């Protein structure tokens, strides 16, 4: 595996300080060395630098929209470059609004994508349905062709064009979905495995059916967008929007081992690690170590040795 890493120390898709430190914490836990240790060729492209945007007043309910738009424009360019260099891209967040740029940049390189969204949340509020105005709860709404008419013109978002079809999205881990999001999911018929399905089917069947869905027509490169809050807070407490009843460590690893085996993984987001949301050092370590192990399993680490 050839892996290109980009750090996106960005927090303005939400209101909690600290999530911008996720990338460097994951590096400090040895991600690059461990990937090399399992035979990967790794290039670390460093961290993006996000200039402050003054007077970034809310637009409607949207908070710091200009900063989010600009950050994602930068990220999209960086991901496109990493893909053009022939790597599988690993984007280290930062909050989940960064998926706007990560998926846009990936789509600019590989065009049609399958998106596997592993998250407690659907992150599909539109600027008009969002209950908080936090753009980390909205990224998919900007990316999906079928929702384009629902997205108003927003300063610093003019570079952005929808690039994913609803049928090419699969969710795993949902358990905290807003009513308006649920309506959108049903209306668009988006494939989802909530925690109810994980419990009913078991993770092996969930992955089997996820792959059946993604490969039902033509096989496309996979973009895995992994929000660390998909895992149970007992495993990954240091995150901004924890929700009880999440994936076990083993289920998370099973997902990434299985996606690795498809041979189609083309880009990974690992987002929402927030050290300031951990009550103890151990909580931060548990969260960061889970993020590292999930990424290692994306690139060939298997539990049998
Ligand atoms: C579920 N939607 C939320 C959370 C988004 C989490 C983003 B992620 O990237 O971490 O997944 C929360 C909305 N609720 C907040 C508490 C009161 C009810 C609404 C939102 O702000 O849109
Ligand atoms: Mn989430
Ligand atoms: Mn437009
Ligand atoms: Mn998310």
Torsion of CA 23, 266, 264, 26, to 10 degrees: -10
Torsion of CA 181, 185, 188, 190, to 10 degrees: 150
Residue 245 C-beta-side C-alpha neighbours within 13 Å: 12
Give the integer Cα–Cα distance in Å for 181 and 127. Answer: 12
Tens of pLDDT, residues 102-126? 999 999 999 899 999 999 999 999 9
Q: Token pair 């105005």 is at which residue? A: 133
Query: Counting atoms of ligand 1 from 1, which one is nearest the CA of 241?
Result: 10
Query: How wide is the angle at C-alpha 264 spanned by C-alphas 98 and 274, nearest 5°?
Result: 30
Tens of pLDDT, residues 153-205? 999 999 999 999 999 999 999 999 999 999 999 999 999 999 999 999 999 99
- Which ligand has the minimum distance to the alpha carbon of residue 246? 2
pLDDT-derived band of residue 282, with 50, 70 and 90 as boundaries?
very high
Tens of pLDDT, residues 52-76? 999 999 999 999 999 999 999 999 9
**Of 228, 268, 273, which Cα lies nearest the Cα of 247?**
228
Residue 226 has pLDDT above 90, yes or no: yes
Phi, psi (deg, nearest 5) at residue 163: -145, 5
Tens of pLDDT, residues 11-30? 999 999 999 999 999 999 99
Mean pLDDT computed over 72-84:
98
E strand segments, 191-249: 191-194, 222-227
Residue 37 has pLDDT above 90, yes or no: yes
Whose CA is closest to atom 6 on ligand 1?
A: 137
Structure tokens at 296: 């290692």
Angle between helices 99-110 and 65-84 (to 10 degrees): 30
For residue 201, the model assigns a pLDDT of 98
Residue 287 has pLDDT above 90, yes or no: yes
Structure tokens at 238: 């240091």
Kindly list the protein residues whose Cβ atom lies closer than 6 A to any atom of ligand 1.
96, 119, 121, 123, 125, 130-132, 134, 136-137, 176, 178, 227, 229, 241, 272
Structure tokens at 39: 């035979």
For residue 167, the model assigns a pLDDT of 98
Task: Give me ligand 4 centre to Cα 304, in Å.
Answer: 30
Annotated catalytic residues are 96, 119, 121, 123, 136, 227, 229, 272
Tens of pLDDT, residues 133-156? 999 999 999 999 999 999 999 999
Average pLDDT value for the chain: 98
Task: Give me ligand 3 centre to Cα 153, in Å.
Answer: 7
Task: Give me ligand 2 centre to Cα 39, in Å.
Answer: 31
Query: Counting atoms of ligand 1 from 1, which one is nearest the CA of 139?
Result: 9
Task: Give me ligand 2 centre to Cα 167, in Å.
Answer: 21
- pTM exceeds 0.90: yes
Sequence-separated (6 or more) residues with CB below 8 Å from residue 37: none
Residue 248 has what DSSP assignment?
A: -
Mean pLDDT computed over 221-249:
98
Number of neighbours of residue 204 by Cβ within 10 angstroms = 11
Whose CA is closest to atom 20 on ligand 1?
A: 137
Structure tokens at 218: 């033509």
Residue 217 has pLDDT above 90, yes or no: no
Adjacency order of strands within the sheet including 222-227: 41-47, 2-7, 88-92, 265-271, 222-227, 114-118, 169-174, 191-194
Query: Counting atoms of ligand 1 from 1, which one is nearest the CA of 132?
Result: 21
Give the integer Cα–Cα distance in Å for 135 and 126. Answer: 9
**Of 137, 140, 89, 108, which Cα lies nearest the Cα of 269?**
89
Residue 163 C-beta-side C-alpha neighbours within 13 Å: 23
């Amino acid at each position: 595996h050839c892996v290109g890493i980009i750090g996106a120390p960005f927090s303005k898709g939400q209101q909690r300080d600290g999530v911008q430190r996720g990338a460097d914490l994951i590096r400090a836990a040895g991600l690059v060395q461990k990937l090399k240790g399992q035979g990967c060729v790794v290039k670390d492209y460093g961290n993006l630098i996000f200039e402050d945007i003054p007077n970034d007043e809310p637009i409607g309910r949207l908070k710091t929209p200009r900063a989010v738009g600009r950050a994602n424009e930068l990220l999209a360019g960086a991901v496109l470059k990493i893909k053009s260099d022939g790597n599988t891209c690993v984007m280290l967040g930062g909050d989940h609004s960064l998926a706007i740029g990560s998926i846009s940049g990936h789509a600019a390189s590989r065009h049609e994508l399958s998106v596997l969204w592993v998250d407690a949340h659907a992150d599909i509020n539109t600027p008009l349905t969002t209950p908080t105005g936090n753009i980390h709860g909205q990224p998919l709404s900007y990316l999906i062709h079928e929702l384009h008419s629902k997205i108003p013109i927003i300063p610093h978002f003019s570079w952005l064009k929808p690039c994913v079809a609803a049928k090419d999205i699969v969710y795993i881990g949902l358990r905290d979905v807003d009513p308006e999001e649920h309506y959108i999911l049903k209306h668009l018929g988006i494939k989802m495995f909530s925690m109810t399905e994980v419990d009913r089917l078991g993770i092996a069947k969930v992955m089997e059916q996820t792959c059946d869905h993604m490969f039902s027509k033509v096989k496309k490169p996979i973009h895995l967008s992994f929000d660390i809050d998909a895992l149970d807070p007992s495993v990954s407490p240091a995150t901004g929007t924890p929700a009880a009843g999440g994936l076990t460590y083993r289920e998370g690893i099973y997902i990434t081992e299985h996606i690795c085996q498809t041979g189609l993984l083309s880009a990974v987001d690992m987002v929402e690690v927030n050290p300031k949301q951990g009550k103890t050092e151990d909580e931060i370590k548990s969260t960061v170590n889970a993020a590292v192990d999930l990424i290692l399993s994306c690139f060939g680490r298997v539990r049998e040795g």
